[in-house]
């Protein structure tokens, strides 16, 4: 049973998306990378559920790489 | 002359060298490092004759292992030298983590209360070995059957049907020995391993590390400092660790493809240390060396009558202090089994459990030390990006601090899948489940672990203490000796030479930490403990059939028929 929320879950999602992009305004590629990675770490800690995080990793790998990562 | 330059057990001619046939010994231990010395001491304490061969005549050279973890100290207590070793060591609880040019956080390791021994001590390996040699000498003067032969290098290992032939090179030429069992503790470059043609498979790390021991001329805080990417060692790491006797250990990561000779020259080392310690700190260099490491192990630690332990069996990265600690834990696991097999109390399949238990322990150590290495020395752009993000966040966000990995404290392996373990009983605390080493706790004016070890014991707690102490003895169980104090001796019908099962009992209510660690919410429990203080089985009621069954399994016996 999947536990990762894959239905839309953010109210006013356009505004969230805009804020997300604004965060990267004027950033170099390195700065953007560092921002993204820091966000991943903060959000992953907030979720705190290894199963959910693993599922998210698998979904991302499926979408981006077309495969599930090796366990 | 420094300790590690002083001959401590010079070569002496042995009568074995003049024997017409190779002299036969029950156990020959090869290599007098921490694992080999601990093995010889434990065997001698059990009155198993043991010859310990070392190619050298002194403790190990220079600055090597420095951190000895609680479980190791508890094993050294069992071997009878815990106090001396802990008294010589230093401990610390405060540390600082630096990233680039700033301290990102400080920490204080608040050790859990209610343990005789601290989470670890720092002590030079050569000092530990010197104290172990002292313990071995004491055992010799008590008449225990142990010999330490210096200047004796094993050059050839020939397994035969019921023994192993060893060729030993000495300053007076070679001689041969016949060993019923060989314990190979001859280190990462093990001759015994090479002689048996065993592959040492794993991952070689190409980073060079420089070790410097320095003496500070003035007070310096007793703290562990770790630097990631510091200004004095760009792109690399550095570690400052306290040792006893005013010594400080510094590990500087040098990276790949460096000129090792050049890096070790004091004129290159001193300016870096000055930058690291501050201009106003005066220090003197005691030792410099450069090392690389690998994370590797042999496939099995038992090869017939040859048993591998310590670095000869497995090598880890230095992060997390898992080398010497795991070597001592290997022989803690091995020696009681070897004694039982030599005395005919267990079949030699008991020694297969050494392999089944210590191979996963080595894998756990390799996994942990590899993770630390990958954090300290990221191998890709992405891993560096994550590593640096963790360090940046750690300055203000406590959530990131557990991800900072500059070495995880060595914890003992839990033998969860061991063939010697019996299924667990529900409702008891997880930390003392079968496979775990017994957890210490204060009892009366002493410590639980001081009452455990060396033989099979039944720890009877809470209302089970009363049951085993007073209840009628059920069929299949015979009580061997009358109760004395809180401890009664109780045995199961076993061959006459079996020492049986000693009962150590602690009635309910008196020791809250003991109850918390062993009972949880249960009113009573019985723990079957092995001679190495690991839990083999536990029960919440007194069922002699199940206890007898678990006891048999823990001794690798099919039946108890003689």
Interface contacts (A, B; CB < 8 Å): 23
pLDDT digits (tens, 9 = 90+) for B330-339: 999 999 999 9
pLDDT at position A71, please? 53
Q: Is A38 on the interface with B (CB under 8 A)?
A: yes
CA–CA min distance A42, chain B (Å)? 8
**pLDDT, average across residues B195-215:** 91
All residues of chain A having their beta carbon less than 8 Å from the beta carbon of residue B390 are: 41
For the cut 90, the answer to whether the pLDDT of residue B398 exceeds it is yes
Handedness of CA B341, B343, B344, B346 (dihedral sign): negative
More confident residue, B488 or B141: B141
pLDDT category of residue B487 using cuts at 50, 70 and 90 = very low
Top-confidence residue, B482 or A7: A7
Give the pLDDT mean for B200-208: 87
Domain-embedded: residue A37: yes
Q: What is the pLDDT of residue B490?
A: 43
Mean pLDDT across B313-328: 90
Ordered by start, the domain boundaries in chain B are: 3-88+122-201+295-368, 430-554
- Measured in whole angstroms, the distance separating CA B272 from the mean position of its chain's CA atoms is 34
- So what's the pLDDT on residue B560? 65
How many CB atoms lie under 10 A from the CB of residue B199?
A: 10
Residue B404 is encoded by which pair of tokens?
Answer: 């900072």
Contact of B389 with chain A, judged by CB distance below 8 Å, is answered with yes
Q: Which of B383, B398, B399, B403 is the best substitution to test chain A (most A C-beta atoms within 10 A)?
A: B399
**What ipTM was assigned to the predicted interfaces of this complex?**
0.93
**Mean of pLDDT values over B147-161:** 97
Angle at B136 between CA B130 and CA B140, to 5 degrees: 140
Query: A38–B392: do the CB atoms touch at under 8 Å?
Result: yes
Domain-located, residue A4: no
Q: What is the pLDDT of residue B410?
A: 84
pLDDT at B103: 96
Reading the block at residue B127, the tokens are: 């000092």
pLDDT at B279: 86
A30 to chain B: nearest residue by CA?
Answer: B385
The verdict on residue A2 lying in a domain is no
CB contact under 8 A, A45 and B386: no
Please determine, for residue B470, whether its predicted confidence score (pLDDT) is greater than 60: no
The Cβ-side half-sphere exposure at B165, using a 13 Å CA radius, reads: 9
- Helical (H) or strand (E) element with A63: helix A50-65
What does each C-alpha distance from B509 to B224, B258, B515 come to in angstroms? Answer: 40, 62, 8
Element (H, E) at B543: none
Task: Test B393 with A33 for CB contact under 8 angstroms.
Answer: no
Map residue B81 onto helix, strand or coil. coil
Mean of pLDDT values over B225-250:
93
Nearest to B406 by CA among B451, B374, B379, B429: B374
Is A34–B403 a contact, with Cβ atoms under 8 angstroms apart?
no
CB A55, CB A5: distance < 8 Å: no
Kindly identify which residue of chain A lies nearest to residue B396, measuring between CA atoms: A42
Out of 3.90.1150.10, 3.50.50.60, 1.20.200.10, 3.10.129.10, select the CATH number for domain B3-88+122-201+295-368: 3.50.50.60
Q: Is residue A71 part of a domain?
A: no
Backbone angles phi, psi at A6, to 5 degrees: -115, 10
Domain range enclosing A50: 13-65
Distances B186 to B145, B154, B163, B194 between C-alpha atoms, Å? 21, 9, 19, 11
Dist CA B451 CA B74 (whole Å): 12
Closest chain B C-alpha to A56 CA, distance in angstroms: 17
CATH topology of domain B430-554: Glutaredoxin (3.40.30)
Domain count, chain A: 1
Residue B480: pLDDT band with limits 50, 70, 90: very low
A10 touches chain B (CB under 8 A): no
Q: Any CB–CB contact under 8 A between A34 and chain B?
A: yes
Residue A1 forms part of a structural domain: no
CB B54 within 8 Å of CB B42: no
pLDDT digits (tens, 9 = 90+) for A23-37: 999 999 999 999 999
Chain A residue numbers with beta carbons less than 8 Å from the beta carbon of B386 are 37, 41
Chain B positions in Cβ-Cβ contact with residue A38 (cut-off 8 Å): 389, 392-393
List, for residues B102-144, the tens digit of each pLDDT value.
999 999 887 899 999 999 999 999 999 999 999 999 999 999 9
Percent of chain B predicted with pLDDT > 70: 93
Report pLDDT for B474.
37
Residue B520: count other Cβ atoms within 10 Å of its Cβ. 14
Residue B485: band (very low, low, confident or very high) from pLDDT cuts 50, 70, 90: very low
Enumerate the residues of chain B whose CB falls inside 8 A of the CB of residue A37.
385-386, 389
Residues B432-457 have a mean pLDDT of 94
Strand stretches in B1-138, DSSP E: 23-30, 50-53, 67-69, 94-99, 102-108, 120-122
Q: Is any Cβ of chain B less than 8 angstroms from the Cβ of A33?
A: yes
Question: What average pLDDT score do residues B152-174 get?
Answer: 97
Q: Are B529 and B74 in contact (CB under 8 A)?
A: no
């Amino acid at each position: 049973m999947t536990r990762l929320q894959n239905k839309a879950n953010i109210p006013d999602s356009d505004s969230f998306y805009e804020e997300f992009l604004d965060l990267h305004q004027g950033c170099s590629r390195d700065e953007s990378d560092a921002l993204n990675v820091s966000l991943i770490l903060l959000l992953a800690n907030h979720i705190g559920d290894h199963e959910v995080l693993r599922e998210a990793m698998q979904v991302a790998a499926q979408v981006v790489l077309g495969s599930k990562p090796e366990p | 002359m420094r300790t590690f330059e002083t001959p401590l057990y010079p070569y002496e001619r042995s009568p074995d060298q003049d024997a017409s046939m190779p002299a036969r010994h029950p156990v020959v231990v090869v290599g007098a490092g921490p694992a080999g010395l601990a093995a010889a001491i434990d065997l001698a304490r059990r009155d198993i004759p043991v010859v310990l061969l070392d190619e050298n005549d002194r403790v190990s050279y220079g600055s090597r292992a420095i951190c000895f973890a609680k479980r190791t100290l508890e094993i050294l207590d069992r071997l009878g030298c815990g106090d001396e070793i802990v008294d010589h060591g230093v401990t610390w609880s405060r540390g600082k983590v630096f990233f680039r040019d700033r301290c990102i956080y400080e920490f204080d390791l608040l050790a859990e209360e209610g343990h005789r021994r601290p989470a670890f001590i720092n002590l030079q390996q050569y000092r530990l070995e010197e104290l172990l040699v002292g313990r071995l000498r004491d055992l010799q003067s008590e008449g225990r059957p142990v010999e330490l032969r210096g200047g004796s290098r094993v050059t050839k290992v020939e397994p035969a049907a019921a023994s192993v032939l060893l060729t030993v090179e000495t300053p007076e030429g070679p001689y041969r020995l016949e060993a019923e069992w060989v314990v190979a503790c001859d280190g990462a470059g093990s001759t015994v391993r090479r002689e048996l043609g065993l592959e040492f498979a794993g991952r070689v790390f190409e980073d060079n590390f420089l070790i410097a021991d320095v003496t500070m001329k003035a007070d310096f805080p007793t703290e562990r400092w770790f630097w990631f990417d510091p200004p004095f060692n760009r792109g690399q790491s550095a570690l400052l660790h306290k040792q006893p006797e005013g010594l400080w250990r510094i590990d500087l990561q040098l990276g790949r493809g460096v000129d090792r000779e050049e890096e070790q020259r004091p004129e290159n080392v001193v300016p870096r240390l000055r930058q690291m310690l501050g201009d106003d700190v005066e220090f003197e260099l005691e030792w410099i060396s450069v090392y690389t490491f690998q994370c590797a192990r042999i496939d099995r630690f038992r090869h017939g009558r040859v048993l591998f332990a310590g670095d000869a069996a497995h090598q880890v990265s230095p992060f997390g202090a898992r080398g010497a600690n795991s070597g001592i834990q290997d022989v803690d696991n091995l020696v009681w089994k070897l004694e039982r097999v030599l005395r005919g109390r267990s079949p030699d399949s008991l020694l297969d459990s050494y392999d089944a238990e210590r191979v996963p322990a080595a894998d756990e150590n390799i996994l942990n030390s590899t993770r630390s290495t990958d954090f300290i020395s990221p191998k890709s752009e992405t891993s560096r990006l994550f590593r640096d993000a963790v360090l940046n966040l750690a300055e203000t966000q406590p959530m990131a601090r557990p991800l900072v990995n500059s070495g995880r404290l060595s914890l003992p392996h839990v033998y969860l899948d061991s063939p010697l373990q019996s299924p667990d009983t529900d409702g008891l605390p997880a930390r003392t489940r079968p496979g775990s080493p017994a957890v210490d706790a204060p009892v009366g004016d002493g410590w639980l672990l001081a009452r455990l070890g060396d033989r099979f014991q039944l720890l009877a707690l809470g209302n089970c203490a009363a049951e085993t102490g007073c209840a009628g003895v059920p069929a299949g169980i015979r009580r061997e000796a009358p109760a004395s104090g809180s401890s009664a001796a109780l045995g199961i019908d076993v061959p006459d030479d079996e020492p049986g099962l000693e009962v150590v009992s602690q009635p309910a209510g008196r020791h809250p930490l003991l109850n918390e660690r062993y009972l949880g919410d249960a009113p009573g429990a019985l723990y079957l403990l092995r001679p190495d203080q690991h839990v083999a089985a536990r029960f919440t009621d007194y069922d002699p059939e199940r206890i007898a069954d678990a006891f048999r399994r823990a001794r690798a016996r099919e039946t108890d028929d003689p």
